[in-house]
Amino acid sequence: MATLYVLSSRGDRRVTWGRPEVEAGDEEALAAIAEAERIFTQERAKGASAFKLAPGQPAERIDTFDRTADEIVIIPRMAGG
C-alpha cells in the first residue's frame, strides 16, 4: 500500500491506496489517490514541505505529487528559532 502522511498538531493523518488497484482502475483506490493529491496540493500551498521515502534510501524532497511513491510525508514549515 502507498501512504501519504501529513504531520500536524493532532499527529499524523494518513491516506492509503493500492498502486495495483489504481492501475486497474478500482474506484475506491482512485478516490483515495485523488484525495491524497488534493491534500498534497493544499498543504504545499500553505508552505508545507513534502518528501518521498524509499526503503534504504535518503528522503527526497518533492514539489509535485508522485503517484509512483511508496510513502510521502508532508511536514509543516520550519523557521529559525
Partner 1 sequence: MPGFGLQSGLLSLAVVAGFVWVLCVAVFWCLTRHGRGSAEDRRHAEQRAQHLLRELLTAQQVDQLLGIGFMEVPSRLVPGRTYHVPRRRGQVQVYERGRHAGSLCIAPITWVPEADVVLMHKLMIEADEAEYLRVANFFHPYRPS
Residues within the interface to partner 1 (CB under 8 A): 5, 7-12, 49, 51, 53, 58-61, 71, 73, 75-81
Q: How far apart are CA 69 and CA 77, in angstroms?
A: 22
Q: Which is nearer to partner 1, 26 or 66 (CB)?
A: 66
For residue 1, give the C-alpha cell.
500500500
CB of 5 to partner 1, least distance (A): 7
The closest alpha carbon to 42, from 2, 18, 68, 8, belongs to 8
Residue 45 or residue 78: which is nearer to partner 1 going by CB? 78
Contact call for residues 22 and 29 (beta carbons, < 8 A): yes
In sequence order, the β-bridge partners of residue 52 are 60, 72
CB of 48 to partner 1, least distance (A): 10
Which CB atom, from 23 or from 60, has the smaller least distance to partner 1? Answer: 60
